[in-house]
Amino acid sequence: MPIPRYAVIGHPVAHSLSPFIHATFSRQAGIPLEYVAIDAAPDAFDAVLAEHAAHGGAGANVTLPHKRRAAAICGNLSDRARRAGVVNTLIRTATGWDGDNTDGVGLVRDLTDRHGQDLRSRKVLLIGAGGAAHGVAPALLDAGIADLFIVNRSGDRTDALADALGEPMRVHPRYFRDLGTIGSFDLIINATSIGHSGEDMPLPGSLIAPRCDVVDLGYGEAAIAFLSWARASGADHTIDGLGMLVEQAAESFKCWHGVRPDADAVYAALRARESALAVPG
C-alpha cells in the first residue's frame, strides 16, 4: 500500500519547519507518511495542488500567500475555517478537498497551556489583516478577550476582517495613523512582516501597557526585531510563533489521522536545535 503523501504549500517555503515537525509526529504515532515542502507561486496554487493530489496527496498545509485561495477551492469548510475565511489545512476526500484552519487553536493553546496566559478580559491589539490574522482572530474572541483592536496598512482589509468577525461591540478596526492615540494594550500580536526585514519599527512604545505581553507569529530571526522593540518598550513577556507553529501542526495531524501527537516534545526539540545553532562553533 502506498505511503500517504502530505505537504506544506507556500511561497517561499524552503525555510519551513513543517517537514521536520510532521516527520517527528509520524514516528511518535507510528503512522508512516511522506511530508514535503512545495513552492507554489501565487498563480500556480491550483495546478500545484492538483499535481500533489495526482501523486497520492492525502492532505496539505497551506501558508502564505495561498490561505484564501485554499478556502475557495474547498467543497466543505469546518466551522472555524468558515469563520476565518482562510484555510491552512486541506483534507483530501473522494470528491475533492475539505478545509480547516488550525492557526487560531494553535495560538491559543500555545499562549494558555505553554506560556500560562489568561486571555480573558484582555484588551488586545492585532497588527495585520491578512491570512494569519484571519486565522487567529476568531479564536482570540472565543478565548474571552474583552476587546480586539485591528490595525493594518490597508484600511480596506482592516474593515473587511472586522466585518467578517461580526462583533462590533468587541472588534474595533483602526489604522496605522491611529497608533499614537489608541492607548495601550494588555496583549499585542504581530501577524505581519513588520520588523522581519530589518526596517525601523513604526510603532510607538505607548502601545505597551504595564504587564503587557507581546507575540510575533513569526519565529527565529524573523521575530527578533519586533520582540526586541517590545522588550525595549517595557513588555512583560515576549513570545515568538514557534509554539503556535507546532500546535497548529499537531491539530492538522489530528485532522488527518485522528490522533493528536505530543507537541511539547517537538517544541522542546526545536528549541534545543535553535540553541545549538546559536552557539558559536
Cell triple for residue 238? 515576549
Query: Which CATH number is 104-240 given?
Result: 3.40.50.720
Rounded to 5 degrees, φ, ψ at 208 are -90, 110
* Annotated domain spans of the chain: 5-101+246-278, 104-240
Rounded to 5 degrees, φ, ψ at 206 are -65, -15
Strand-pair partners of 7: 36, 60
Query: Which CATH number is 5-101+246-278 given?
Result: 3.40.50.10860
Report the pLDDT value the prediction gives residue 281, as an integer from 0 to 100: 47
Please enumerate, by residue number, every residue annotated as part of a binding site for NADP(+): 79, 128-132, 217, 241
CA distance 157 to 140: 19
Report the pLDDT value the prediction gives residue 27, as an integer from 0 to 100: 97
User: In this prediction, what percent of the chain has a pLDDT beyond 90?
Assistant: 90
DSSP single-letter state for residue 137: H
Widest CA span in the chain: 61
Report the pLDDT value the prediction gives residue 193, as an integer from 0 to 100: 85
pLDDT in tens, 71-111: 999 999 999 999 999 999 999 999 999 999 999 999 999 99
Catalytic site positions = 67
Average pLDDT, the chain: 94
Report the pLDDT value the prediction gives residue 280, as an integer from 0 to 100: 56
Look up the pTM and report it. Answer: 0.95
pLDDT in tens, 138-166: 999 999 999 999 999 888 999 999 999 99
Please enumerate, by residue number, every residue annotated as part of a binding site for shikimate: 16-18, 63, 88, 103, 219, 248
pLDDT tier, 277 (very low <50, low <70, confident <90, very high otherwise): confident
Do 5-101+246-278 and 104-240 share a fold?
Answer: yes
pLDDT in tens, 206-237: 999 999 999 999 999 999 999 999 999 999 99
Cell triple for residue 122? 484582555
What is the separation of C-alpha 191 from the centre of its chain, rounded to a whole number of angstroms? 8
